[in-house]
Structure 1
Amino acid sequence: MEFTFTDEQRALQGLARDFFESEVRPVAAEYDQREDPRDCVPWELIEKGSRLGLRTLGTPEEWGGGGADLLTQALVIEEMARVDIGVSKTFSHNWKVSSRIAALCNEEQKKRFLPPFVEDHRYLLSNAVTEPDAGSDSHLPYDVPEAGPRCFAERNGKGFVINGMKTFIALAGVSRLCVLWARTDRSVGITKGLSTFIVPRDTPGVSNGRIHDKMGMRLYNNAELIFENALVPGENLVGGLGQAMQQRAAVAKGGNIELMSHALGCARGAYEHALEHARNRVQGLKPIIEHQAIAMKLAEMAMEIEVARSMVWRCAWSSGNLIPPDNRITMFSKVFCTEMALRVTRKAVEIFGGMGIMKEGPAEKYLRDAAVLLHMDGTNQINLIKVAKRL
């Protein structure tokens, strides 16, 4: 593996860095501290970033997007997430979902759904999988009829009537289009009984429940989706009935790489703040970086970040060069990187001392944001179980 980046990759990296430094950093803390999660959605930043291509960077070029590969996406995400992981996830989630639409949908569906998304700078996508009683069950899975998602799509003439609830869904409170997993056969487990649908959010019977009030990553909207006799035309079924799990397996690697890149960026942002603070904060008549206890913490943080970056880049490279891909790499790298982010951000809080736990300081937000990463794209425990089955 050789990582020699192109001028285009460096330019995109610089574009993301400049936009997040000049536009996002000055306002991110204020958005984060708003009491109502509905008020935490930074629409002006989303639109400005979209005009620079950040909302559609990972959307295939043939549909008007940037067509960035996973390594390029990882480089850009690191720069974005070091400033604010919530805005970064808002952009990158749309890369992931739009790429899945492009990979899994037929030509007619792609022509219907992708151009409106690309053309509207405030058009966001969601991917509805998790339910109140089906979180890890959807990832492991427990392949029996009684386990897994219960949201059900029942045939009705030429369409499907959908009833059920999804929870913790990214961007569900603000999205215009949803990629939905729903049961279509209750007599079998989810490997054969789960199907994928494209559901416009203005479909009658589709509404929001709670807008979730998260401890971290507050600029990244999560909400409940409620389906009450929502009629979806048959032409919105993706592939055939019962194919959702197979479809997920075909596109899942990109999600883990996206998430671990955010963990890397979050850790790097916390480290940079801690390093600057340690160089300027004087105790015992010298900068605290000259005290061995602090210096060792910073060295450990730098070490972990470098290891994580190597893992992210290897995973991104492997996704396009190993046939067949080794999915274990992305699974255990996701675990390492998210746990690493929690360790590094905690050390940043400790280096800041009393100011580390104050909201007027920069450190505590990184710790809260890092904690959220542990619960995304399958828990770390579920990912380790999957790896163990492949040993």
Structure 2
Amino acid sequence: MSGNPDFDLFRTSEDHEELRAAIRNIAEHQIAPHAGDVDHNKRFPQEAFDALTAADFHAPHVPEEYGGMGADALATCIVIEEVSRVCASSGLIPAVNKLGSMPVILAGSEEIKHKYLTPMAKGEAMFSYGLSEREAGSDTAAMKTRARREGEDWVLNGQKSWITNAGISEYYTVLAVTDPEGRRGANVSAFVVEKSDPGFTFGEPERKLGIKGSPTCELHFDNCRIPGDRIIGAEGEGLKIALRTLDHTRVTIGAQAVGIAQGALDYAIGYVKERRQFGKAIAEFQAIQFMLADMAMELEAARQLVYVAAAKSERNDADLSFFGAAAKCFAADVAMKVTTDAVQLLGGAGYVEDHPVERMMRDAKITQIYEGTNQIQRLVMGRQLVK
């Protein structure tokens, strides 16, 4: 699955489809049976992590020279899509591993890459991403977390909010202000923080609407001392690295949204073919067929946009910022609509935990919010258009 920047945008390769079949088999037989329990009990999907790690799908994006599969951007999206089709919380295992480690891949030294990508590729560690703060969400440059030099070390103080898989991951990319008097946006640096570092602790898990199997916590830094060689890239380049990271990883959130929507559509189709009213299956009613047609049409449009954005991510095209934002924004909006319609198609049955569509609707909502709200995505696209 080594990267091929020239793959046909409108037809996935044979390798991609073989990959899809393999990950779908794992998802349906080893992940789906636990999805409801993971959601109900708000627990990390350990079964999914074990199954994905055994098959080398937990971090498929890691290059081969660091022990990874070396999957291209589209292959990584297919993995996330297929896992999210049955369990969105589990889909965040490969998605957040890519998010957390992408700054290292884009800007890290060879020493940092070998030190942190290799254990992740082996399944020995996960990687999370610490950018947002309580008062610095969309306005990332307003962050308050500080890192100051002390001899050869860096000492971090502050907090990060809404951190996916916090407490589970061993490694964290953390953005912090290193020059408080410097120019806004050019005074931030990126660091790798390890779970065991002294002065690094976690807040209580957030009580969330969806993706309940993926823990979300605050990160707290209280004179957290880390070695000087943990900086990613050059001092002051952190925000630039963070935004480049999001250009690539927003595509994976689009893939997660597509997977959630596909799972909801599949389940709704199965239900309406079995549910009978007025002497026949409700799937025979035109009103139902029109709903399904709109759901499938919009879902397929979202999938194609995500796949094109993945191709651009693989090539690092100049217009990736627009397409990454567009793929994430459009797919997330489609996922919210498709899952809501799936609940509607099931009627009262869609509103209870006996059927997975209510979980899928709750899970879909976050795709419109994290890695930049869909309002921010529209801002990114608009700026690209008029630049």
Which residue in 2 is equivalent to 1:98? 101
Is the Cα–Cα contact under 8 Å of residues 55 and 95 in structure 1 kept in the other structure?
no
Is the Cα–Cα contact under 8 Å of residues 129 and 166 in structure 1 kept in the other structure?
yes
Which residue in 1 is equivalent to 2:129? 127
One of 8, 12, 22 as aligned partner of 1:5: 12
Given the alignment of the two structures, is residue 186 of structure 1 paired with residue 180 of structure 2, yes or no? Answer: yes
Distance 1:302 1:44, change over 3 A: closer
Q: Secondary structure at the match of 1:197?
A: strand
Show CA shifts across 1:167-200 (max 9, x none). 1101112111111001111223442111001111
1 CA distance for matches of 2:162 and 2:203?
Answer: 10
Is the Cα–Cα contact under 8 Å of residues 60 and 99 in structure 1 kept in the other structure?
no
Q: After TM superposition, give the deviation of residue 202 of structure 1 in Å.
A: 0.2
Is the Cα–Cα contact under 8 Å of residues 99 and 245 in structure 2 kept in the other structure?
no
Q: After TM superposition, give the deviation of residue 71 of structure 1 in Å.
A: 1.2
Show CA shifts across 1:222-279 (max 9, x none). 1111100111111111122110122124333221110001111100100010011111
Is the Cα–Cα contact under 8 Å of residues 43 and 122 in structure 1 kept in the other structure?
no
Show CA shifts across 1:324-358 (max 9, x none). 23421221222111011000000000000001110
Q: Which amino acid aligns with 2:35?
A: A
In the alignment of these two chains, the number of paired residues is 378
Structure 2 counterparts to residues 47-196 of structure 1, below 5 A: 47-119=50-122, 121-138=123-140, 148-196=142-190
Which residue in 2 is equivalent to 1:144? none
Q: Secondary structure at the match of 1:211?
A: coil
TM-score by length of structure 1 reads 0.93
Unaligned runs of 5+ in 1: 142-147
Instruction: Please give the root-mean-square deviation of Cα atoms over the aligned residues, in Å.
Output: 1.6
Distance 1:237 1:125, change over 3 A: same
Structure 2 counterparts to residues 215-364 of structure 1, below 5 A: 215-321=209-315, 323-364=317-358
Q: Secondary structure at the match of 1:191?
A: coil
Q: Secondary structure at the match of 1:8?
A: helix
Unaligned runs of 5+ in 2: 1-7
2 CA distance for matches of 1:118 and 1:313?
Answer: 24
Is the Cα–Cα contact under 8 Å of residues 46 and 91 in structure 1 kept in the other structure?
no
Show CA shifts across 1:23-76 (max 9, x none). 111111011001xx4xx1122331221011011211111101111111112222
1 CA distance for matches of 2:172 and 2:57?
Answer: 20
Distance 1:321 1:48, change over 3 A: closer
Is the Cα–Cα contact under 8 Å of residues 124 and 176 in structure 1 kept in the other structure?
yes
One of 15, 18, 30 as aligned partner of 1:23: 30
Show CA shifts across 1:80-115 (max 9, x none). 111111101112211333343232111122222222
Q: Which amino acid aligns with 2:296?
A: A
Q: Secondary structure at the match of 1:127?
A: strand
Which residue in 2 is equivalent to 1:42? 45
Once the two structures are aligned, what percentage of the paired residues are identical?
30
Is the Cα–Cα contact under 8 Å of residues 189 and 234 in structure 2 kept in the other structure?
yes
